[in-house]
Amino acid sequence: MQNKGTTLLIVEDNHDLRNGLKDILSFEGFTVLAAANGREALNQMKAVHPDLIISDITMPEMDGYAFFEAVRTLPEGVTIPFIFLTARGERDDVLRGKNLGAEDYLIKPVPGRDLVTAVQSRLTRFRQLQLAQMEGAYQAALTALANGIEVRDRYTRGHVERVTAYTLAIGEALGWRGKRLDDLRYGAILHDIGKIFINENILKKASTLTEEERAEIIKHPLRGAEMVKDIPYLAQAIPIIRSHHERWDGTGYPEELSGEEIPVEARIVAVADVFDALSSTRPYHSAYTTEEAFDHIINSSGTHFDPMVVNAFQRAWESGKIQEIAAKWHNYPIESEPLP
Ligand SMILES: [Fe+2]
Ligand SMILES: [Fe+2]
């Protein structure tokens, strides 16, 4: 049953009503705790954290408002969904509760169906909100992790953010939406994560790399893929991390894949990555103008890059999106990866 494992707390001084509510919700599979007033409810909350609270307003000892405020001061109570029960016609109650920040009201007597629907929809909304917040926090954590590479090297500042923005602009030009764009975003954020293993002196080196140093650098796609392989949430990022240095004509690395053997997400990030590398100042070359970098991408269609992706990039350029992103980050000097 879908409600199993969800704990509700009912706070109501009327014994019959309290038991009636409890029976209805228990029948739906919820675990239901009950208390006769706010004080008793707070005591129960020391042992159990309910997922949702339904509380009467007028009660002895501690009324619904005082209880609501007490719950919101508890660290674990800040976000618990809260539904007030109010007698018909108590409009002032509704207003006062709204001012406190309670979102939901049920008017007594509550038909069983309405009660169950209100509880379930409140829980669903709360879980959606929680998930959205978690994803936001997750993405911020990933970006911070990816930026960990940049912190070691002043030349790489902003590279992750710009490549991610260019990548999404290309994805949107291809008509991608929703989860497909999200997966693309994670891959772009993490594409160079494997560089975390590369010695700083190599990353910062302005002169030509030795054979050994180059061998070290070209390991970063496989090392990065290895780093995230046990995180199921990031499974879609792996092909991007692994294959963002492959070339359409088969002369890239690490696997010398060609054409459509290269995952399309990686073909997109490749364009974004090179465009950014060219239009940013790096230790071993000064920046192209954005127009020069754009020309280079167009001229490499069918050799380095997938023509379909280059077309999408061109559409994003023509809509002004690419220039907008470049201008926004213009003040950051960047990265030292040898040109892909
Ligand atoms: Fe890379
Ligand atoms: Fe890169």
Q: Which residues contact 81 (CB under 8 A, 6 or more apart)?
A: 51, 52, 53, 103, 104, 122, 123, 125, 126
Closest Cα partner for 11 from 31, 37, 32?
37
The residue-averaged pLDDT of 95-124 equals 80
Q: How far is CA 43 from CA 39, 40, 75, 77, 186, in A?
A: 6, 5, 15, 13, 44
Name the band, by pLDDT with cuts 50, 70 and 90, for residue 263: very high
Do 160 and 63 lie in one domain? The reply is no
How high is the pLDDT of residue 334? Answer: 44
Among the bound ligands, the one closest to the CA of 153: 2
> Is 113 among the domain residues?
yes
Do 106 and 171 lie in one domain? The reply is no
> Is 146 among the domain residues?
no
> Is 133 among the domain residues?
no
CA distance 284 to 286: 7
Among 118-132, 169-183, 281-295, 297-311, the range scoring the smallest mean pLDDT is 281-295
Among the bound ligands, the one closest to the CA of 221: 1
The residue-averaged pLDDT of 176-204 equals 87
Cβ–Cβ contacts within 10 Å for residue 299, how many? 12
* CATH code where residue 196 lies: 1.10.3210.10
- Cα angle, residue 83 at apex, residues 80 and 84 outer, rounded to 5°: 135
Residue 148 pLDDT exceeds 60: yes
Query: Residue 228 C-alpha to ligand 1 middle, in angstroms?
Result: 15
How high is the pLDDT of residue 296? Answer: 96
How high is the pLDDT of residue 335? Answer: 43
Query: Residue 192 C-alpha to ligand 2 middle, in angstroms?
Result: 5
The residue-averaged pLDDT of 202-219 equals 85
Do 204 and 291 lie in one domain? The reply is yes
Do 286 and 206 lie in one domain? The reply is yes
Name the band, by pLDDT with cuts 50, 70 and 90, for residue 333: very low
Among 157-171, 277-291, 310-324, the range scoring the smallest mean pLDDT is 277-291
Do 70 and 173 lie in one domain? The reply is no
Tokens of 177: 């939406």
The residue-averaged pLDDT of 324-338 equals 63
CA distance 237 to 187: 4
Do 266 and 301 lie in one domain? The reply is yes
Do 225 and 82 lie in one domain? The reply is no
Do 65 and 104 lie in one domain? The reply is yes
Name the residue range of residue 62's domain. 7-127
Do 52 and 101 lie in one domain? The reply is yes
DSSP-assigned letter for residue 219? T
* CATH code where residue 54 lies: 3.40.50.2300
Domain boundary among 127, 161, 193: 127
CA distance 219 to 15: 70
- The count of structural domains within the chain is 2
The residue-averaged pLDDT of 10-22 equals 94
Name the band, by pLDDT with cuts 50, 70 and 90, for residue 248: very high
Residue 336 pLDDT exceeds 50: no
Region for residue 225 given its phi and psi (left: phi exceeds 0; alpha: psi -120 to 50; beta: otherwise)? alpha
Catalytic residue among 195, 205, 229, 321: 195
Do 61 and 100 lie in one domain? The reply is yes
Phi then psi for residue 156, to 5 deg, are -90, 0
Do 73 and 192 lie in one domain? The reply is no
How high is the pLDDT of residue 79? Answer: 84
> Is 137 among the domain residues?
no
How high is the pLDDT of residue 97? Answer: 67
Do 218 and 269 lie in one domain? The reply is yes
How high is the pLDDT of residue 156? Answer: 61
- What is the residue-averaged pLDDT of the chain? 86
Query: Residue 167 C-alpha to ligand 2 middle, in angstroms?
Result: 12
Query: Residue 9 C-alpha to ligand 2 middle, in angstroms?
Result: 52
179 catalytically annotated:
no
Among 33-47, 124-138, 160-174, the range scoring the smallest mean pLDDT is 124-138
Q: Are 281 and 299 in contact (CB under 8 A)?
A: no
CA distance 126 to 118: 12
Among the bound ligands, the one closest to the CA of 276: 2
Count of residues for the chain? Answer: 340
